[in-house]
Amino acid sequence: MTLLLKLVLAPLLVVGSSLAGRRWGPGLTGLLVALPLVAGPILLITYLEQGPAFVARAASASLLGLVSLAAFAVVFARVSRARGWVGTVLQGWLVCLSLDLALSFAPVPAWVALGLALAAAWAGTRLLPLPGEVRPVTPSWWDLPARALVTAGLVLAVTTAAGRLGPDLTGVLAPFPTALSVVAVFALAQGGPPAAAATMRGLLRGLGGFAAFCFLVAVLAEPLGGWAFVLAAGGAVAGPLVYRRHAPRG
């Protein structure tokens, strides 16, 4: 059962968000990718395999991983104006991984991590380049299969290694921008830097929901068990609606 979740659930969620983004633009794609489409299944599978105490600590660490995710968004949007997609994504990954490793050694209470994640998302929207005109995008035939395969690989790798990585490193790596990288690279290649920046802007404006999901799992997994994920899913949907009212526009 857990193997099926690893191979199917997260890829289906990522493909669905990609299809919706194709219809309504890269900003919505980023907003949808900001939902815990990959980290959510990773934490759920970790709960099923490692138990509530492990996943509570991992979810708290995932909040710190959102700080790294926000940094990746800013770096990608800015570097994409001067470099191709390979150099852009590699530089973004380097920054993200460096922060992830550093933050995994500095666990903090869940409420502190929540504040740091929201502050990083807010600051990130201010550091993004100004929006520009987004060109129409014509996706390649292998776009959606590639997103699904990469997503499945990430979920399989992280959940399989969870026991050895420990809850802090498992959690902080759960939000690593694998699915986002695929989305952003296609946006950059097909729509140019303005499309990449629009995707990242949507992501940052949606991180409130991601943060709400991780926080609720962190504080509710032990007392409520699996029901924590039901409540957290509701928080993931409601979070962006609240956060976007206070996020800078542009």
Q: Considering only CA atoms, which of 132, 138, 114 is closest in space to residue 235?
A: 114
What are 76-93's pLDDT values in tens digits? Answer: 999 999 888 899 999 999
The three-class DSSP label of residue 34 is coil
Q: pLDDT tens across 143-168, in order? A: 788 778 877 777 777 667 766 778 88
Lowest mean pLDDT among 64-68, 90-94, 242-246: 242-246
For the segment 229-237, the average pLDDT, to the nearest whole number, is 90
Nearest-angstrom CA–CA distance, 179 and 184:
9
Which tens digits make up the pLDDT trace of 10-38? 777 778 777 877 776 666 767 777 778 77
The angle that helices 10-24 and 39-50 make with each other, rounded to 10 degrees, is 170
Please give the model's pTM, rounded to 2 decimal places: 0.82
Q: Lowest-pLDDT range, 102-111, 131-140, 157-166?
A: 131-140
At 248 the pLDDT is 47
